[in-house]
Amino acid sequence: MNSPFLIAGELEAGSHRLVQRVYYEDTDFSGLVYHARYLHFLERGRTDYLRCLGVEQRELLNADEEGLVFVVHRMEIDFKGPALMDDLLTIRTVTEKAGGAKMVLSQEIRRGETLLIAAKVIIAVINAKGRPRRLPEKLAAQMLMASENAG
């Protein structure tokens, strides 16, 4: 492996791109991906997006006396089409907004050019005690810069 981020996807064209295979465990009795499994794929996309930006979430928790944690506050998902076992899915993540005590991320899951899932995720920024805290300006700027060419 030449890149430490290969398994975590890659930043390209203003977004993060992660490829995941659909396994038997992701499907239901009909052979289609079970709807709740898409949440797992989206979470992997968000986590690896941060990883590619050089952000380790467990380090944020202990970065200062307050701690920094990201939690999903709201999620809107449009299911456009099904995925099947052995499909290769591409999860794209783009930062729409980052600042204050929240981030807004746009995510999609595609099989080739076919859009299967479109999601908007609002992430709350909290401290280790569960209280809102501001997203550090440096991190907000980094996320916005990574996504400035998206679209």
DSSP 34-52: PTTHHHHHHHHHHHHHHHH
Which of 28, 64, 78, 86 is labelled catalytic? 28
Tokens describing residue 118 = 């479109």
Please name the residues in contact with 26: beta carbons below 8 A apart, sequence gap of 6 or more: 33, 34, 37, 40, 83, 85
8 A C-beta contact, residue 126 and residue 137? no
User: Is residue 64 annotated as a catalytic residue, yes or no?
Assistant: no
Q: Which residues are catalytic?
A: 28
